[in-house]
């Protein structure tokens, strides 16, 4: 793939788009999740509030009903008294009418009998109520339920608690009108073996010394009142759809009121259909626990497919020992809640739309900015690329010029040194001829001068030869190939054998060198060793025999591994200030005392550089020097075997 400013800009844009997309996705998901959570918790709160309201509402209905029923029950006695007073007042009016009509026409005893007989057949309170008439002396005149007692005195009659009934009645008759009530115990009509509470109202009919009264059993009134209470409850409806109603169960486990299924009324739990049984069971259980809420599914028509959940509040009515249950269909109540929920949902949707819009606008802006930055990047990169291209062109031009000038210089050095040798050779040849043929004609000075000329020519030849060699290193070297460093070192030492013997030098060779394969030009590596060892011999200390060590180590740079050779001597040493200078061409530190051209180290440096290595030194003047150079490592296996 070609990397250019357009690709980088496109990558930049794509990167921005991906980052924005990921961010938007994460933010979007996060916000929507948060909105959903808010919605859920609002719905939960709403549901909880609804339930609370619903419960409060049912409790309130129960309180109303309980209040009314309690009030009714508490007023049983009052109602009872009112009812019998009304009856007795009517009987009294009747007696008065008879008396007014008959008085003077018949004797009092006959009028008394008329009144008694007029009252005898009258019944009320569902047939249970009747009138009794007694004389104010305690004699019974009318007792429809026990006519056998009529004519007898009941003055000493007691109830099961010892109270003298007749005397109580006579005393009551003596009270002001409207207050003649007397409470006692009397045989219960449905259970004559036992007595039950009874209240009677009596009025004294003074003209005939009579006492007219009527009584009623408290329990009878209660039954009537209960009946009225149930009828009242039957019509009692509540709730949004008016579908809430009351259920009533008696203490002995019968259904007293079931407005949705009146057919259940009067039945016991066991006689109910399964759904009714289940509902009643739940309600009764809850009542036993002291009341509270129950839920069940219910349908008025008994069809399970129409059943809907109901919430029912159960409570106990203490006086009558009733279980009251106020129930309402949950759906009815929740209609308002559903509206609220719809509103909430709408607002949530609005929020989500807004979030999406904001994110979309954010994406657009981010992408526009990304696009703008990427085109800016493209422009800058294009400018930068143009700069680099221009610099590269300049560099290539300079390199080409340098290469050209280098080649020219090498060419020049080569041609110069090569061509200079020619005249030099003829100078040397003619000097030798002159010395040989005319030597004896020269005087002492003449021969000395001739010697100077010959030495000069020889020196010049050396210089030219060295220069020639130097100029050939890059251009005319052999190819670089794997070789054994030890072979080149051997050759070099053989070349220096005479000088080694002459100087009495000791040479220490690192045995590892025998294995070191390098990438090199054999002749040049040999020259390298020869120049460095040659210098170690040449610049030896006058005070001690030369001792030369050649060592091997391994190094590497980021690209490859090298062998690091060093040639150490115990010679005169070099002042560190001259370290740089001695590698320059024709640079010498000992121009007079030791023969040389000052090219040796420059040649070494050039050879090492041609091989891609480094050359440097350490030295202490007066103690010795150590020259280091590196050559790229090669595989010993790749080295060509020496020619046979
Ligand atoms: P040449 O030996 O022909 O003078 P080189 O280029 O080989 O030229 O050396 C340059 C100079 O560096 C020498 O003249 C000498 O002064 C100094 N030199 C080189 N090698 C050594 C050495 N081993 N000990 C001391 N001086 C040295």
The DSSP line for 174-194 is TSPTT--EEEEEEEETTEEEE
570 lines ligand 1 (CB under 6 A): no
| pLDDT digit string, tens, across residues 484-501 | 999 999 999 999 999 999
Report CA(590)–ligand 1 centroid distance (Å): 7
Query: Which pLDDT score is estimated for 336?
Result: 64
624 lines ligand 1 (CB under 6 A): no
Please name the helix (run of DSSP H) or strand (run of DSSP E) that holds residue 632, with its range, or none: strand 624-632
596 lines ligand 1 (CB under 6 A): yes
Report CA(447)–ligand 1 centroid distance (Å): 32
CB contact set of 404 (below 8 Å; sequence gap of 6+): none
3-state class of 320 per DSSP? coil
Report CA(619)–ligand 1 centroid distance (Å): 12
Report CA(537)–ligand 1 centroid distance (Å): 10
Q: What is the 3-state secondary structure (H, E, C) of 59-87?
A: HHHHHHHHHHHHHHHHCHHHHHHHHHHHH
Report CA(32)–ligand 1 centroid distance (Å): 84
**What is the arithmetic mean of pLDDT over 565-582?**
94
Span of 200-209, 301-310, 518-527, 562-571 with lowest mean pLDDT: 301-310
**What is the arithmetic mean of pLDDT over 445-453?**
88
Assign 524 a pLDDT band (cuts: 50, 70, 90).
very high
**Per-residue pLDDT at 476 exceeds 80:** no
Span of 197-206, 356-365, 612-621 with lowest mean pLDDT: 356-365
Report CA(140)–ligand 1 centroid distance (Å): 172
83 lines ligand 1 (CB under 6 A): no
Task: Check residue 587 and report its DSSP letter.
Answer: -
Distance CA 643, CA 342 (A): 102
Assign 8 a pLDDT band (cuts: 50, 70, 90).
confident
**What is the arithmetic mean of pLDDT over 376-383?**
88
619 lines ligand 1 (CB under 6 A): no
**What is the arithmetic mean of pLDDT over 109-122?**
94
| pLDDT digit string, tens, across residues 222-259 | 887 888 899 999 999 998 788 899 999 998 889 999 99
**What is the arithmetic mean of pLDDT over 384-411?**
89
**What is the arithmetic mean of pLDDT over 104-121?**
94
390 lines ligand 1 (CB under 6 A): no
**What is the arithmetic mean of pLDDT over 162-171?**
92
Query: Which pLDDT score is estimated for 74?
Result: 79
Query: Which pLDDT score is estimated for 335?
Result: 66
| pLDDT digit string, tens, across residues 130-156 | 999 999 999 999 998 888 999 999 988
Query: Which pLDDT score is estimated for 11?
Result: 85
Looking only at the bridges linking them, the beta strands covering 547-556 and 506-509 are parallel
**Per-residue pLDDT at 644 exceeds 70:** no
Total Cβ atoms within 10 A of residue 134: 24
**Per-residue pLDDT at 113 exceeds 90:** yes
CB contact set of 155 (below 8 Å; sequence gap of 6+): 137, 138, 164, 166, 167
**Per-residue pLDDT at 285 exceeds 80:** yes
pTM over 0.85: no
481 lines ligand 1 (CB under 6 A): no
Task: Check residue 238 and report its DSSP letter.
Answer: B
**What is the arithmetic mean of pLDDT over 316-340?**
82
3-state class of 631 per DSSP? strand
Query: Which pLDDT score is estimated for 603?
Result: 92
Query: Which pLDDT score is estimated for 286?
Result: 93
**Per-residue pLDDT at 591 exceeds 70:** no
Atom of ligand 1 nearest to the CA of 624: 24
**Per-residue pLDDT at 527 exceeds 90:** yes
574 lines ligand 1 (CB under 6 A): yes
- For ligand 1, atom 8, the nearest C-alpha belongs to 598
Distance CA 167, CA 134 (A): 11
Report CA(523)–ligand 1 centroid distance (Å): 21
| pLDDT digit string, tens, across residues 48-88 | 888 888 899 999 999 999 998 888 887 777 888 898 999 99
């Amino acid at each position: 793939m070609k990397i250019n400013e357009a690709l980088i800009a496109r990558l930049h844009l794509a990167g921005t788009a991906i980052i924005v997309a990921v961010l938007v996705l994460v933010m979007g998901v996060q916000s929507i999740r948060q909105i959903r959570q808010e919605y859920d918790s609002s719905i939960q709160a709403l549901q909880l509030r609804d339930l609370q309201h619903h419960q409060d509402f049912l409790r309130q209905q129960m309180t109303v009903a309980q209040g009314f029923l309690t009030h009714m029950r508490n007023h049983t006695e009052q109602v009872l008294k009112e009812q019998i007073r009304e009856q007795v007042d009517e009987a009294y009016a009747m007696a008065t009418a008879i008396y007014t009509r008959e008085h003077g026409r018949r004797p009092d005893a006959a009028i008394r009998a008329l009144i008694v007989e007029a009252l005898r057949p009258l019944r009320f309170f569902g047939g249970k109520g009747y009138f009794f008439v007694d004389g104010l002396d305690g004699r019974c005149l009318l007792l429809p339920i026990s006519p056998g007692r009529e004519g007898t005195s009941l003055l000493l009659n007691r109830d099961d608690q010892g109270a003298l009934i007749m005397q109580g009645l006579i005393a009551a008759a003596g009270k002001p009108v409207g207050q003649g009530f007397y409470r006692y115990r009397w045989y219960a009509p449905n259970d004559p073996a036992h007595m039950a509470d009874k209240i009677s109202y009596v009025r004294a009919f003074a003209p005939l010394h009579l006492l007219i009264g009527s009584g009623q059993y408290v329990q009878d009134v209660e039954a009537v009142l209960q009946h009225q209470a149930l009828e009242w409850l039957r019509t009692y409806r509540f709730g949004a759809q008016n579908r809430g109603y009351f259920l009533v169960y008696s203490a002995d486990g019968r259904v007293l009121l079931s407005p949705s299924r009146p057919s259940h009324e009067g039945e016991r739990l066991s006689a109910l259909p399964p759904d009714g049984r289940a509902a009643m069971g739940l309600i009764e259980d809850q009542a036993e626990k002291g009341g509270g809420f129950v839920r069940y599914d219910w349908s008025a028509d008994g069809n399970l497919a129409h059943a809907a959940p109901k919430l029912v509040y159960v409570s106990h009515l203490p006086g009558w020992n009733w279980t009251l249950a106020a129930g309402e269909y949950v759906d009815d109540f929740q209609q308002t809640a559903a509206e609220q929920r719809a509103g909430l949902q709408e607002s949530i949707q609005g929020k989500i739309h807004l979030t999406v819009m904001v994110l979309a606008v954010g994406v657009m802006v981010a992408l526009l900015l990304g696009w703008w930055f990427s085109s800016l990047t493209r422009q800058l990169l294009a400018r930068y690329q143009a700069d680099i291209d221009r610099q590269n062109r300049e560099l290539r031009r300079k390199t080409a010029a340098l290469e050209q000038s280098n080649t020219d210089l090498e060419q020049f050095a080569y041609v110069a040194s090569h061509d200079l040798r020619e005249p030099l050779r003829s100078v040397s040849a003619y000097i030798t001829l002159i010395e040989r043929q005319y030597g004896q004609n020269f005087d002492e000075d003449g021969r000395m001068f001739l010697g100077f000329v010959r030495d000069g020519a020889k020196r010049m030849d050396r210089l030219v030869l060295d220069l020639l060699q130097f100029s050939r290193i890059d251009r005319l070297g052999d190819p670089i190939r794997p070789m054994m460093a030890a072979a080149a070192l051997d050759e070099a030492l053989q070349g220096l054998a005479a000088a080694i013997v002459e100087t009495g030098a000791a040479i220490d060779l690192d045995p590892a060198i025998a294995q070191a394969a390098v990438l090199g030009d054999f002749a040049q590596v040999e020259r390298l060793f020869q120049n460095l060892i040659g210098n170690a011999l040449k610049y030896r200390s006058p005070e001690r025999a030369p001792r030369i060590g050649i060592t091997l180590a391994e190094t590497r740079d980021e690209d490859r591994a090298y062998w690091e050779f060093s040639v150490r001597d115990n010679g005169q040493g070099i002042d560190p200030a001259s370290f740089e200078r001695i590698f320059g061409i024709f640079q010498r530190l000992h121009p007079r005392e030791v023969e040389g051209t000052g090219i040796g180290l420059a040649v070494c440096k050039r050879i090492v550089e041609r091989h891609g290595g480094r050359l440097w030194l350490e030295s202490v003047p007066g103690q010795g020097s150590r020259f280091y150079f590196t050559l790229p490592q090669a595989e010993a296996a790749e080295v060509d075997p020496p020619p046979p």
